[in-house]
Chain A
Amino acid sequence: MIEISHLTKKFDNFTAVDDLSFKVVEGEVLGFLGPNGAGKSTTMKVITGFLAATQGAVTVDGHDIATDPIAVKALIGYLPEGAPSYPDMTTLEFLDFIAEIRGYSGEEKRRRIEKVIADVELHSVCHKTIDTLSKGFKRRVGLAQAILHDPKVLILDEPTDGLDPNQKHHVRKLIRNLAKDKIVIISTHILEEVSAVCTRAIIIAGGRILADGTPKELEGRSAYAGAISVQLTKDFDLRAALAGDEDIRGVELSDDNARRYILLPSTGKQIFGKVSENAQSGHWPVSEYHLVEGLLEDYFRSVTQDSALARRDAPQDAPQVVSATTSQPQV
């Protein structure tokens, strides 16, 4: 278990992390979200012992990073931001160095290096110097060194940054497979990644926790949770057609498309079935309608921007509506 209590980190007069407290237990994959400069990387650097906390304590399995750093570092696999590694070494030399530092030798060392090379698919670049590798491969080498000792705690700072979609998919699958009985903390800007791999998400900004919950819970807190996007084929007064319906809190017009409306449900109401019925019985000129997606992104924006309330009035901040070609309702 990782326990962070009242962690504060100041750089001169700038407070990067401000009285942060949370716990992470085995089996959790924690997504660390926040705008740039929110304190995500700084928090990770303190947990891994690269930076010393100004105040507060970090313990991993009961070992305090300030008093027993070697024990904590032995438990952690860490991929720093940008996946730094020694450019003049070959992939194999680099992994060999990491394995030796982690205390492996002989057969055990060989077995671990082979396994990690297979897991991260580095066969083709084993004998190339890291300097010459593409960004994606460099990141995978960084990931390989982080998981080489099968760590109990895995801390990955933007693990999929700079990867192509196939590589991203591969890395996410790898993280999901690794996650059993482990603690994984991932920082990312990519919110779909959180929904894809994380069991828990913490949104931080200005060094403070703004939200903490499962990705589903956070999505549920979005103003657009349960909202329906309706695409019309010709002019039609949707507001008039829905006037007086207490289950529907409001109707917004999407800014990017003149005939796309967003129907907002009243608190706790499911309106999909009702909209579907009304569309058929009222002969709405509709080509498609579906649940609004990108809820996490919307919630992220609403909690990280001070102008959270103003946003409701500004349609340009409406969540992105994923296009679907079918006219059948999607659930």
Chain B
Amino acid sequence: MNKMLIIFQRELAGYFATPLAYVFIVIFLVMSGIFTFDMGSFYERGQADLMPFFDFHPWLYLFMIPAIAMGLWADERKTGTIELLMTLPVKLADVVFGKFLAAWVLCVLALSLTFPIWITVNYLGNPDNGVIFAAYLGSALMAGGFLSIGSCMSAMTRNSIVAFILTVSICFVFVACGTEIVLDTIAWAPQFFVDAIAGLSFLTHFDSISKGVLDVRDVLFFVVFIASWLFATAIVIEIKKAN
């Protein structure tokens, strides 16, 4: 069997061997419910779409995803199992991707368990299910983006709390640089610069996908983003090996 899949299976089983996966899923569902119904005024707006649900996802992920990602490598370093893992005949790329994929599948599972809200909105009105599907896809891609940052930060330290804080900080930068506050602040700069900053943000790409505009460039952004951070993860591990 493919070594990457073996790593993936072990990691995924590891999440469910402890309460971690269940706690994550429950909190994720509760939080997304609070955001949607309470802060997003799902009912009050009287529109048959899931905008209030998806709009909060970047902010929900900002704290939820680093909590999953922080242990990816830091825990292996702390318990010493990284020494076992890295002396097995497996390519580093297989380990990096297998671990990432397991965490991503957990996130996508949590995300897909929000399906009752999709049923609700279909029961109450006639939403555009194509838009909803695109938004789910965009949300999953964005979760992958957050996770890939977390993977790299976790590889840098043996302390998962440090990894968590680093991940939240960097993720915040990639979310915030698309907000109006930041873009207004740098409005004096040349337009290409403002566009470049906005183009780096999850918000910009996620917003357009979640409005149903499934542009290849937005999807590509997340794919390249994830690949780059995973590549950085491998580099960090190689550097640690040499020290």
Contact = CB atoms under 8 A, between A and B. Distances in A.
A145 interface: yes
Given A88-B14, A88-B17, A100-B1, A50 B88 contact: no
Contacts of B18: 88
A316 interface: no
Given A97-B10, A100-B6, A101-B3, A84 B88 contact: no
A174 B235 CA distance: 39
Given A50-B86, A73-B88, A78-B87, A85 B243 contact: no
B90 interface: yes
A207 interface: no
Interface in A35-59: 45, 48-52, 54
A16 to B, nearest CB: 11
A45 B3 CA distance: 22
Contact of A85 (B6, B7, B81): B81
B184 interface: no
A50 to B, nearest CB: 5
A49 B87 CA distance: 6
A103 B6 CA distance: 10
A305 interface: no
A88 B1 CA distance: 23
A89 B17 contact: yes
A105 B1 contact: yes
B102 to A, nearest CB: 13
Interface residues of B, number: 24
Contacts of A98: 88
Binding site secondary structure of chain A? loop
Given A52-B241, A76-B87, A84 B6 contact: no
Contacts of A11: 243
B210 to A, nearest CB: 36
A315 interface: no
A180 interface: no
Contacts of B14: 86, 88-89
B84 interface: yes
Given A48-B87, A102-B89, A84 B10 contact: no
A51 B86 CA distance: 9
B130 interface: no
Best-surrounded residue of A85, A101, A105 (most CB of chain B within 10 A): A101
B87 A73 contact: yes
Nearest to B92: A69
A70 interface: yes
B83 interface: yes
B125 interface: no
B241 A51 contact: yes
Contact of A52 (B17, B84, B90, B242): B242
Best-surrounded residue of B13, B17, B87 (most CB of chain A within 10 A): B87
B1 A84 contact: no
Nearest to B239: A52
A69 to B, nearest CB: 8
Interface in A75-97: 76, 78, 80-82, 84-89, 93, 97
B83 A84 contact: yes
B217 interface: no
A74 interface: yes
B91 A84 contact: no
Contacts of A97: 6, 10
B243 A87 contact: no
B79 A84 contact: yes
Contacts of A54: 242
B89 A74 contact: yes
Interface string B219-243: 0000000000000000000100111
B140 to A, nearest CB: 26
B83 A45 contact: yes
Nearest to B88: A101
A51 B6 CA distance: 24
Interface in B83-122: 83-84, 86-91
A46 B181 CA distance: 51
B80 A82 contact: yes
B86 A49 contact: yes
B89 A70 contact: yes
B81 A101 contact: no
Nearest to B83: A80
Contacts of A82: 80
Closest 5 CB pairs of A and B: A84-B80, A88-B17, A73-B89, A74-B89, A80-B83
7 contacts: A11-B243, A54-B242, A70-B91, A73-B89, A80-B87, A82-B80, A85-B84
Given A80-B87, A89-B17, 11 more contacts: A12-B243, A45-B83, A50-B241, A51-B242, A73-B88, A81-B80, A82-B80, A84-B83, A101-B3, A101-B88, A101-B90
Interface of A: 11-12, 45, 48-52, 54, 70-71, 73-74, 76, 78, 80-82, 84-89, 93, 97-98, 100-103, 105, 129, 145
